[in-house]
Amino acid sequence: MSKIDRYSSRLVTVGLAVLLVLLAVGCTPEHNQSTFDATGPVARSQLNLFYWILWTAVFVFVVVGGILIYAAIRFRRKPGDPDPEQTHGNTPLEIGWTVAPALILAVVAVPTVTTIFYNANSPDPGSLTIDVVGHQWWWEFNYPHPDGSDSVVTAANELHIPVDEVININLDSKDVLHSFWIPKIAGKVDLVPNHPNQMWILAEEPGEYYGQCAEFCGVAHANMRFRVIAQSRPEFDAWLSTQAQDAVEPIDPLALRGKALFEGDARCWSCHTVAGSKRARGQQGPDLTHVASRAHLAAGIVENTQANLRKWLEDPDAVKPGNLMARDAEVYNDPVRELTGADVSALVAYLRGLD
C-alpha cells in the first residue's frame, strides 16, 4: 500500500468530520435572508419540514457513506489474494434495501403533503389582501384604499404589513418572470405574467425583513430587492392613510423648479406617477407620490439619502447597472437633454419633499 493510499483513507475520515462541523456552523440565523430564522408560520412550517428531512438525510448519509468507506478499506486487496467468491446477489437483501428507502421516504412524504396544503390555503381569505406586481427590476405593491373605495394605494419596494395578521398576496408580473421571496417569513412563489398566483404570509415580530427576487429576470436581477416592514396595526393604519393622500405641494422655490422639470422637460412624468399631479401619470416606473417616506432607493439597493438620490439621478446606471431609466429616459441618452447639476439639485429638492 503506497503512502498516498494511506493518506487517502485518513483524508476521507477528516473530510467527514469537517463536513459535520461545517453543518453545525453553516446555519447563520442572524443573517438578513437566513431561512433558519423563521419569523412566521409559513417559513416555520418549511423550516420544520427541512429539519425533518435533513436529519433523516444525515442519518442515511452517515450509515450508507460509512458502509461504503468501510467496505473500501476493509476489503482492500493484498498481494497474492485469491479471487473472492463470485456471489451474484441475494434476494432477501434486494427486497430489504428496496423496502427500507421506501419506508424512509414515507416518513418524509407525509409531512411534505400536509405542509404543501398548509402553505397553499390561506387560513383567513377575508383578511388584508395586497397585490404584488413584478417589474424589471422593482416591485409594485397595491393596497385596498382605506376609505373602502375600489381605488388602490400604490407603493413600491417596501411592503408594509401589520404584524401578526394573515396577509393574502396576489402575485402578477407585467414583463418577465420574477419570484417573491421573504426568506424569514415565507418561501418563494413566482410572479408569472398571464398566470396570477396567490400566497399568504404572516410576520410574528415587528421589524424589517429582507426580500429578493429569486427568479432570473435579466440584467439587474441581483438588484431587484425589497424590504418588508412589519408594524403594529395602528402604525400600519397610519402609514396607509398617509400613503393614500396626494403628494405634498412644494413651497421651496428649488423644489418648485424640480416639480416643473419633473412634469416638463426632464420627462420624468412619462414613466412615474405622482398622485395629485395632472401630468405625472406614467406607469412604467415606481409610483413616486411618497418616495421620500421610503427608507431605500432603487429597489432596496441604497439608503434613501440626499447624496444617494443625487447619485441615482446623475448616473442611475452606476447605482444599478442595466436599469430601464438609464436605458430609456431621454435625459440619460440624448446629450441635448442631459440634466445639468442645477437640474439634479432641483429634482432632488422636489423628490425629497414627497414624504
Q: Which residues contact 332 (CB under 8 A, 6 or more apart)?
A: 316, 317, 325, 326, 338
Pick between residue 203 and residue 255 the one whose CB is nearest to another protein. 203
Cβ 260 to another protein shortest distance, Å = 34
Residues 204 and 163: their CA atoms lie apart, in Å, by: 6
Bond preceding residue 137 cis, omega within 30 of 0: yes
Residue closer to another protein by CB (options 259, 294) is 294
Angle made by CA atoms 87, 90, 94, in degrees to the nearest 5: 135
- Angle formed at CA 95 by CA 89 and CA 99, multiple of 5 degrees: 145
**Smallest distance from the beta carbon of 171 to another protein, in angstroms?**
8
Q: Nearer Cβ to another protein, position 203 or 261?
A: 203
Min dist. Cβ of residue 262 to another protein (A) = 28
Long-range contacts of 12-18 (CB under 8 A, 24+ apart): 12/69, 13/69, 16/65, 16/69
Minimal CA–CA distance to 298: which of 133, 138, 132?
A: 138
Q: Which is nearer to another protein, 100 or 238 (CB)?
A: 100
Residue 263 to residue 282: CA distance in whole angstroms = 11
Kindly tell me which of 13 and 232 has the beta carbon lying closer to another protein: 13
Minimum CB distance to another protein, residue 126 (Å): 20
Min dist CB 158 to another protein, Å, is 17
Nearest distance in Å: CB 266, another protein: 26
Least distance from C-beta 163 to another protein, angstroms? 21
Report whether 348 contacts 257 (CB < 8 A): no
Q: From CA 156, how far away is CA 278, in angstroms rounded? A: 20
Angle, CA 142 vertex, CA 186 and CA 115 arms, to 5°: 20
Chain CA centroid to CA 351, Å: 27
Whichever of 180 and 350 has its CB closer to another protein, that residue is 180
d(CA 355, CA 228): 18
User: Of the two residues 117 and 336, which places its CB atom closer to another protein in the complex?
Assistant: 117
Distance in Å, CB of 235 to another protein, minimum: 25
Comparing C-alpha atoms, which of 243, 74, 81 is closest to residue 160?
243
- Name which of 152 and 222 has its Cβ closer to another protein: 222
Q: Are 294 and 300 in contact (CB under 8 A)?
A: no
